[in-house]
Amino acid sequence: MLSLIPLACVATAIGALAPTAASASHSQAMFFEAPRDLVEVTPSARAQALAQLQSLGVKALRVELDWANVAPGAHSTKKPNFEATNPAGYSWGDYDVLLFEARRLKWPVLLTVTSPVPEWATAGHDDKSGVTRPDDQDFKEFMTAVGKHYAGFVSLYAIWNEPNHPAFLQPQFNSKGMPESPRIYRGLFQAGYEGLRSAGISKPKVLMGETAPVGYDNVTRSEIRREGAKALLHDVAPLAFLRETLCLNSKYHKASTCGMLPAYGYAHHAYTTGAGPSYKPAGADNVMIGVLSRLTSALTKAEAAHAIPAHLPIYLTEFGIQSYPNRELGVSLAKQAEYDAIAEKIAWENPRVAAFSQYLLRDDPLGGKAGSSVHGGYVGFQTGLETVNGTRKPLYFGFPVPLVVSKLGHGFSLWGFIRPTTGATTLKVLVEPKGSKSYKTLKVVHTSSSGYWSFSSSVQGSHWRVSWRSPAGVAYNGPPIGAS
């Protein structure tokens, strides 16, 4: 087991990730997740990726801990004879290395503990996919071991990745077409929370949700007749999932038999489509970044029903804009940089949002169409700052200095952020006037102590850019950004 970080440092890190509702619109943590570049890689590759992230201004990580990856006898139908609450019974491997490095860098870590689970911990003890009805007691014991092992290394925990998606939890719907996964998830959350308490953490900071953005409220009989068992593998819509998890009916009235879930925050993956961050999906229970207010409203109603603690913050813990060559959801490389900044600004403007995120440093290889993972295919994400072969996209240069230019009357409103800064700083905003092929300085801007800035301009331009030099002399030049 790794040595412990001083508790005072942990408290400071946690505080930095949890702004109050009143201040969240002017500051939000940024989690970065890059599993292929940070887990199960060579030490030199990991060191290179961490150095890249540090130069980009990353200061916090999200790490998904797959139960089956560390558990003994993961592919056995019989539970091994071991002390399941003792961290010594598990093989933590590269997770230890990464979390040790995060501690060295003083980066807070959000640890999402999720499936696949050992076969012996599934219903029937024989589910090779490791997602069918994980056993609550086994999960509680595992979370006790997790809490003991990573005490002082983890600032926030989250329980399950996208539990409303069949690739991570099954069944999603029962034979009558009604959501089944929310009640399974409720049991897992309660068990996991109690497991952390058993590890000696008196008030665990645990996020609930980690929900995928879209799905179904229910599955109709005609869909079941037409699709058969596959109809029960549709995602559950995130707000329907939230209500069912919290024992709320469609009007957000809570069943008297259910108590409040002790969540520290609600985590959500507010991905959008190629239509951009402003896209509004059909279905009132679906939540993409363009309709984030739906989640805010739902949480307010859940609070009023005493199903969750008051003023629960939103953590957008997985996000990215898909770029070409993604065939279904991708946009041009230039648009990816623009849309990503717009999405971050939408989150920043919502006073309830405590954290935003970026999923992937480097693109996945191209996979199948959306949803194919449910039926055995592979889905690749092209949300990275680099292509699959490591070529840097415009987003790589835009990520540390995001810029949004919005049309405002006959002029423009500009907003941005200097991510690598550790305090107030000065930058240049450049404009390419219409009809010109060169840039000129539009304004020298002073940021807030958090690195944010904004102003309005009447200068007509085709594109805008940000130029900033760090105190160490490193030059950051953002990509050309058009007005939205």
- The pLDDT of residue 13 is 43
3-state secondary structure of 310: coil
* Mean pLDDT on 279-301: 98
Q: pLDDT of 408-420, one tens digit each?
A: 999 999 999 999 9
* Residue 405 or 3, more confident: 405
pLDDT of residue 40: 87
Looking at 317-469, which runs of residues are DSSP E strands? 353-359, 403-408, 411-417, 426-433, 440-446, 452-457, 461-469
Answer whether 429's CB lies under 8 Å from 466's CB: yes
Structure confidence at residue 1 (pLDDT): 39
Q: Are 317 and 267 in contact (CB under 8 A)?
A: yes
- Does the pLDDT value for residue 18 go beyond 60? no
Mean pLDDT over 204-221 rounds to 97
Residues 6+ positions from 184 with CB-CB distance below 8 Å: 133, 134, 163, 169
Task: Give residue 376's pLDDT.
Answer: 63
What residue segments make up the domains of the chain, in order of their start? 7-399, 405-477
**Residue in this structure with the two tokens 């087991």, named with its chain if needed:** 1
When the pLDDT of each residue in the chain is averaged and rounded to a whole number, the result is: 93
Kindly indicate the confidence band of residue 368, based on its pLDDT and cuts at 50, 70 and 90.
Answer: confident
* Model pLDDT, residue 11: 38
H or E stretch at 186: helix 181-198
As a whole number, mean pLDDT of residues 183-195 equals 98
pLDDT at position 5 is: 32
pLDDT per residue over 421-446, tens digit each? 999 999 999 999 998 989 999 999 99
pLDDT band at residue 273 using 50, 70 and 90 as cut-offs: very high
- DSSP letters along 76-101, please? -SS--SS-TT-GGGS--HHHHHHHHH
Q: What's the rounded Cα separation, in Å, for the pair 351 and 349? A: 6
**pLDDT on residue 8:** 35
pLDDT of 252 over the 80 cut? yes
Q: Which residue has the higher pLDDT, 27 or 480?
A: 480
Q: Name the CATH topology of 7-399.
A: TIM Barrel (3.20.20)
Structure-model confidence comparison of residues 369 and 198, the more confident one: 198
Any bridge partners for residue 66, and if so which? 114
CA distance 411 to 143: 54
pLDDT(15) > 70? no
> Per-residue pLDDT for 2 more than 50?
no
Strand partners, 211: 268
H/E stretch holding 210 reads strand 206-211
Instruction: Quickly tell me which residue has 């060169």 as its tokens.
Output: 438
Phi then psi for residue 165, to 5 deg, are -120, 135
The CA-based angle 354-360-364, given to 5 degrees, is 150
Lowest mean pLDDT among 13-17, 48-52, 260-264: 13-17
The reported pLDDT for the residue numbered 375 is: 62
The C-alpha atoms of residue 279 and residue 261 are separated, in whole angstroms, by: 31
Contact present, 127 and 171 (Cβ < 8 Å)? no
pLDDT tens digits along 316-346: 999 999 999 998 899 999 999 999 999 999 9
**Secondary structure element (H or E) that encloses residue 65, with its range:** strand 61-66
Rounded to the nearest angstrom, the gap between the alpha carbon of residue 60 and the centroid of all alpha carbons in its chain is 12
Helix axes 238-245, 181-198, angle to 10 degrees: 60
Please check the confidence at residue 22 and state whether its pLDDT lies above 60: no
What residues form DSSP beta bridges with 142?
A: none
Q: Which residues fall within 8 angstroms of residue 215, CB to CB, at 6 or more apart?
A: 164, 165, 234, 235, 236, 237, 238, 240, 241, 285, 286
What is the predicted pLDDT for the residue at 310?
Answer: 96
Cβ pair 212, 164 in contact under 8 A: yes
Q: Which residues are registered as beta bridge partners of 414?
A: 405, 455
| pLDDT value at residue 374 | 65
Query: For residue range 467-484, what is the model confidence (pLDDT) as tens digits?
Result: 999 999 999 999 999 999
Region 78-92: mean pLDDT is 98
Residue 287 has pLDDT above 50, yes or no: yes
**The tokens of 447 are what?**
């940021």
Report the alpha-carbon distance of residue 228 to residue 225 in Å, rounded: 6
Strands 411-417, 403-408: pairing kind: antiparallel
pLDDT of residue 379: 79
Element (H, E) at 113: strand 109-114
Q: Is the dihedral of CA 173, 174, 180, 184 positive or negative?
A: negative
Residue type, 209: G
